[in-house]
Amino acid sequence: MFKTIDKAEDPNDIVNVAKNSNVPSEVLTLWSKSQNELVRMGVAENSNTPVEVLDLFISDEHHNVRLRMAKNVKWSQNKLEELSNSKDAWIRQGVASNPKTTEKILEILSHDEDRSVKLSVITNGNTPHKTLVNLSKSETGYVRTYLASNPSATAEMLEELYESGPKTGGGGSENDARILIARHPNTPQHILGKLFTSTEVVFRNGVSRNPNISRQQVELAIKDPKNEVVTGLLGNPSCPEGILEEYSVSADVKFRSAVARNPNLSQSVFEVLSKDKSLKVKRALSENISCPSNLLRKLSLDKSEVVKLGVLGNPMTPSEIIVRLIEIA
């Protein structure tokens, strides 16, 4: 089917397929020579890409390829330290985003002159608590805002960020930070309560996606007049099974699609959705990392290339399905 992937209409599909670690290394080597930078971006981030190929991306003409190369988890600690000293800010930013980067390197990069590097440091889950505290005090605007997207941000940090108001948001707005705070699993329940009673839909939507959403908030979210809040809850792994079962047969395809994206579905709900004729639902299922292999196999035979691309981009798709779809068997 796909001897090349650079003809896909959605740029995200191209990147997602190329970064799927179940794509054979020999195919990734071939794709690394693509003229399409989107293909090279995916290959550069792929942990199955040979190191000798990754080395070539260090001098790639496109900055996003160099950035993703430096984010690759295949690099050794020594190589990451070497890359952290690069004169190229895009490469340093990639190192600062890398989940394998050590606390020592992250502390050094937290003082980088490039704000994008600092932004990556403040969102990296490996960044030391002390470094996060220092950045939260010394930075303003969007860098400080994104402290709320760091998985290691503590309840105390998030509360201080919430209470500090407008200075926390990018572009002088407080909304950016509070959207992230609403979604963060470490946000204290009393703050989630305040955000959920807001007239701002984006805040209620954020809380509806929070894995620590309370039972009372669940009951309110499913009745919310705004579809964005309802779909946020339906995609939440903490959404009660009974609600997922009910909405898996909803007349509204938006709700069925949201359920199909939920990674915590029961076998019975997967079976119900597997019979759905909607292209949107099938595409959502094809991207679900918990989708059973037998259903992924079925979806890989779908007539729609959009569904097949979803299967190809799913990191849990078995290699034999990927091999068949890209015609290299």
Structural domain contains residue 170: no
Structural domain contains residue 129: no
> What pLDDT, in 10s, does the model give residues 126-168?
999 999 999 888 777 777 888 999 999 999 999 999 988 644 4
Residue carrying structure tokens 């047969």: 249
Structural domain contains residue 303: yes
Structural domain contains residue 259: yes
Point out the residues of the chain with pLDDT beneath 50. 166-173, 329
Q: Which long-range contacts (CB under 8 A, 24 or more apart) does 173-180 make?
A: 175/200, 175/202, 176/142, 176/145, 177/144, 177/145, 177/148, 178/203, 178/206, 179/203, 179/206, 180/145, 180/146, 180/148, 180/149, 180/206
The domain total for the chain is: 1
Enclosing domain of residue 298: 240-329
Structural domain contains residue 8: no
Separation between Cα atoms, residue 118 and residue 102, nearest integer Å = 15
Structural domain contains residue 273: yes
Separation between Cα atoms, residue 114 and residue 312, nearest integer Å = 36
> What pLDDT, in 10s, does the model give residues 238-256?
999 999 999 999 999 999 9
Separation between Cα atoms, residue 2 and residue 32, nearest integer Å = 16
Structural domain contains residue 18: no
Query: Percentage of the chain with pLDDT > 90?
Result: 88
Whole-model pTM: value is: 0.91
Tokens of 242: 């009974």
Structural domain contains residue 133: no
Per-residue confidence (pLDDT) for residue 235, from 0 to 100: 98
